[in-house]
Structure 1
């Protein structure tokens, strides 16, 4: 009788543990912010919160203008809350959110993290779940809309206000030296590169979406940016699909793969407060894949 009772209790405990496990979709904003830090249900940086954007979607809000290092705790708090213990996360980023997420994984993805209860208090910090720790976070993958992990020439030439600390981080040589972009802890960064540029974005080399050039949004490695284009452009090297080397021989960073290249030049950089531009392409991908 005791054996049967023990087996029943173990079975109920396992069932409870399984039932409490959940997947979450985290959205990490870029420059400009727009949401309320610590409020994971505030999608002011993206668009209407009623719009589908992946299972159990959460907005990982940071101010979008301070330095990556000074705001990084906001991202770590969210990852601790929703991506530890039995819970797993899908992550979407936009622009400087890619720089933020890459910095997080390289510098903290191998650190000890307390398992949290996914019930944030005011300020976005969650309580401990069972008092145990784990290494890093449970992240299935990252999808980057116009990723700025390689910086932007708009920062280099001062097209954005130079009083913003983030603009200093977004200089191409600074962004590429900010952390080891090859260190993702085995998590894949799937890159979505927009190409609906304008005449004034001519300072951006190769194809661009008005703010970020293909060398960055395509995860191209190196200490500085280069000119990369769609396959039909004869005047610069192709940004290749997948994780292989680009035309001309320059590799992508490890665990970076181009899954969308804007061959039709249809998508610009900006979500326009309504999940538009290249953000809309990633949102559709999250709806279909973050389950």
Structure 2
């Protein structure tokens, strides 16, 4: 009988020492226009075919892509609680306004107390507590940013996008840059991928752009407003530098923001085109290689 109790005790201690779940996930957070089914982490309509490789245990964190960032932010926090707490860790990939959404989340909630969850969401995308207690913030390895709009877009400034969308107000350059402290990422690196195949709005967007967002935003350039930044081949514009180095002219990047890809050949535009296209294709390739 004593031996039986010993075996039970050993089993209990082992179960307490090891997390009930321990896995890595890749979260994809959409930008403006949305498209995926909210609460369904397997709905990749915004990006392209769900069968496409896009990182380990990929999940689509869908929000409506038209409401204010603050009004939809709970959906992102739900996903992070589900998949990035306890023994689980996350890689995060974002596109366009998804950058603004993720930056807002980390600055305002990345230091908050989170309940450790079981990664089995209900139909609304909400998970239940695992019973393992709480933690501070989330377990995030890094964030890959495809054409990030955390610095806003001049298309929103001049009303080129539908002004009836509340999100358009958040995407104004001065509004986006004042929405939260972009330097506060809780030590998580944001790796920027900047596209430059811009033609349609070249007269509105300063410097190099991908038809929707200019380099000052996609490159994580700091400041209260946008400015013109270009590829080194353009002699009439300050260069957007790779890595964390200050840009030509002295303008710095936000803390924990690093330019991992600059579209020197002007080959990638802003849009997924229903098939993981544009600058998203470059981020997806990087995620497939590094999000394991």
TM-score range, shorter chain: over 0.9
- Match for residue 86 of structure 2? 85
Q: How does 1:201-280 map to 2 (within 5 A)?
A: 201-280=202-281
1:231-279 residue CA offsets vs partner (Å, 9 max, x unmatched)? 1111010000001111100110000000000000000000001100001
- Shift, 1:14, TM fit: 6.5
Number of paired residues?
290
Q: List gaps (5 residues or longer) in structure 1.
A: none
CA distance in 1 between partners of 2:54 and 2:222 (Å): 29
Q: List gaps (5 residues or longer) in structure 2.
A: none
Residue 123 in structure 1 maps to residue 124 in structure 2:
yes
- Match for residue 101 of structure 2? 100
Determine which of 4, 7, 10 is the counterpart of 1:5.
7
CA distance in 2 between partners of 1:126 and 1:199 (Å): 43
Task: Give the conservation status (yes or no) of the 8 Å contact 1:79–1:137.
Answer: yes
3-state DSSP of counterpart to 1:17: coil
CA distance in 2 between partners of 1:198 and 1:54 (Å): 31
- Shift, 1:199, TM fit: 4.3
Q: What is the TM-score when the length of structure 2 is the normalising length?
A: 0.96
CA distance in 2 between partners of 1:69 and 1:186 (Å): 22
CA distance in 2 between partners of 1:178 and 1:14 (Å): 41
CA distance in 1 between partners of 2:200 and 2:212 (Å): 12
Task: Give the conservation status (yes or no) of the 8 Å contact 2:19–2:86.
Answer: no
- Shift, 1:11, TM fit: 7.1
1:209-228 residue CA offsets vs partner (Å, 9 max, x unmatched)? 00000000000000000000
1:89-146 residue CA offsets vs partner (Å, 9 max, x unmatched)? 0000000000000000000000011010000011100000015111100000000000
Task: Give the conservation status (yes or no) of the 8 Å contact 2:86–2:132.
Answer: no
CA distance in 2 between partners of 1:154 and 1:80 (Å): 33
1:191-222 residue CA offsets vs partner (Å, 9 max, x unmatched)? 00000000433210000000000000000000
CA distance in 1 between partners of 2:124 and 2:190 (Å): 28
CA distance in 1 between partners of 2:220 and 2:163 (Å): 25
3-state DSSP of counterpart to 2:202: helix
Q: How does 1:1-291 map to 2 (within 5 A)?
A: 5=7, 8-9=10-11, 12-13=14-15, 17=19, 20-291=21-292
- Shift, 1:9, TM fit: 2.3
RMSD of Structure 2 on Structure 1 (CA): 1.6
Change in CA separation of 1:113 and 1:15 when aligned onto 2, cut-off 3 Å: closer
Task: Give the conservation status (yes or no) of the 8 Å contact 1:201–1:211.
Answer: no
3-state DSSP of counterpart to 1:126: coil
3-state DSSP of counterpart to 1:86: coil
- Shift, 1:10, TM fit: 5.9
